[in-house]
Amino acid sequence: DLVEGIRVYPTKTKEPLQLYSRIFPKTGIPKGAVPRQTFFQRLAAWVRGNFFIPDARKGWVPFALTQAKELLTTENISQLVTTGPPHSTHLIGLSLKKEFDLHWIVDFRDPWSDLFYNKELYRSRNAQQKDKHLERIVLETADTILTTVGGDFHQSLQEKVTKKLTLHALPNGYDAELMAQSKSKKPKKFHFVFAGLLTKNQAYREVLNAIQNFVFKNKVKNIRWTLAGSIDQHILHEIQEALPEVEIVYLGYVSHEKVVEVMKSAHLLLNFIFEGAHKNMLSGKLIEYLATQNPVLSIGEPHSPAGKFLAQGSNSKMIRPNDSKEIVAFIEKIFNEKEEATNYFPELIKWSREALTKRLSEEILLNPKTN
């Protein structure tokens, strides 16, 4: 989002996956994992994983570097923040740090070499080693490291280098103004909502089976499941085949405003943690889910950072994929409460973008010598 008073300098770029978007115009240039359903998609994943390290956005690096150097020679700038993914942005910061006297803050919104979808890119050992090498140089050179979670993830980053790292954790926040402005009524039908990316690396089948059992057991017919975002077409077809009694609505990509509106119309919000991502990620989507004050069912590890965070809510829960009875029980609980089922989260405003940006400014940006 553009912010008033913040200058933006557009540059040129080279997009190596532009050909992909031309062949698959509905999906556009992949922001993360590349689908692997066809031979061409598997080939694209292999090319992406072995020739574009750390990611396919590296074509932007020389253009951004030129623009940044011009700014640094004319402006009185003492701090630099690079954020990823795409983690190729940190290569820009690495070059600038070596040339200019800057306090460099590296922001990992997601892990780098340990990112869950890297294993889907058919990477060779050399490609993996190169990616880890780039990550290690960035960690060694940066003054401060910022992540969405601490704990085990901070420990894993520290183990990659010999230097003592300065680490901070700040998650992605929610847009409090947009959340307050969005007025959305819940339908008469019991309404499940999923928003985001859904792939075969998430335990969606467990919820699918739970909804099947719930519908059969309770003879329920008035149910709607709305999905917004990037949904694997095979998964969408599987959901439609498995739940003929349920009205399935697929919106595809929609604006952020529309996503918030849809989330607020839910009786129960669904989330599926990516396999292998439970220790080192707390998604902004989960915080947005909580900000709707609607009940949340997430499938993953209850003792993970995200699981512990959800546990603070009155009607938000992380349940293991193999605990089918608890999944069904939670769905039944929310169904029986329906309109009365809200999800109170203590001090929710602390997780707004405004509050988290204030913390970023006061705790990190305004105190570079202590970071």
> Which two three-digit tokens encode residue 168?
């901070």
212 in Cβ contact with 244 (< 8 Å): no
Under DSSP, the state recorded for 187 is: P
Backbone angles phi, psi at 326, to 5 degrees: -70, -35
Percent of the chain with pLDDT over 70: 92
Q: Where are the beta strands (DSSP E) in the chain?
A: 79-84, 103-108, 144-147, 167-169, 190-198, 223-231, 247-252, 268-272, 296-299, 316-319
Single-letter amino acid, residue 362: E
> Which two three-digit tokens encode residue 245?
């009694």
**pLDDT attached to residue 29:** 46
Chain position carrying tokens 């919106």: 251
- Domain assignments of the chain as residue spans, ordered by start: 18-172+354-370, 176-350
Under DSSP, the state recorded for 362 is: I
Cβ neighbours of residue 195 under 8 Å, at least 6 residues apart?
227, 228, 229, 259, 262, 263, 269, 285
**pLDDT attached to residue 26:** 47
**pLDDT attached to residue 371:** 64
Under DSSP, the state recorded for 361 is: I
Q: Which of 285, 289, 296, 294 is nearest to 340 (CA)?
A: 294
Backbone angles phi, psi at 280, to 5 degrees: -130, 20
Q: Which of 303, 323, 236, 306 is nearest to 271 (CA)?
A: 306
Cβ neighbours of residue 19 under 8 Å, at least 6 residues apart?
none
Rounded CA gap, 340 and 336, in Å?
A: 9
109 CB-contact burial (10 Å; exposed 0-12 / middle 13-18 / buried 19+): middle
Bridge partners (DSSP) listed for residue 194: 227, 270
158 in Cβ contact with 238 (< 8 Å): no
**pLDDT attached to residue 119:** 77
Rounded CA gap, 185 and 42, in Å?
A: 42
Residue 369 gets the label, from left (phi > 0), alpha (psi -120 to 50) or beta, of alpha
Rounded CA gap, 263 and 327, in Å?
A: 20
Mean pLDDT split into 10-residue runs, the chain, 371 residues: 83 72 49 61 78 87 96 94 95 97 95 83 90 97 96 94 96 95 91 94 92 88 94 92 95 94 97 82 93 97 94 97 95 91 95 95 81 64
Q: Hey, which CATH number is domain 176-350, 3.40.50.620, 3.30.70.100, 3.40.50.2000, 3.30.1360.10?
A: 3.40.50.2000
Rounded CA gap, 266 and 338, in Å?
A: 10
3-state secondary structure of 59: helix
Rounded CA gap, 165 and 67, in Å?
A: 29
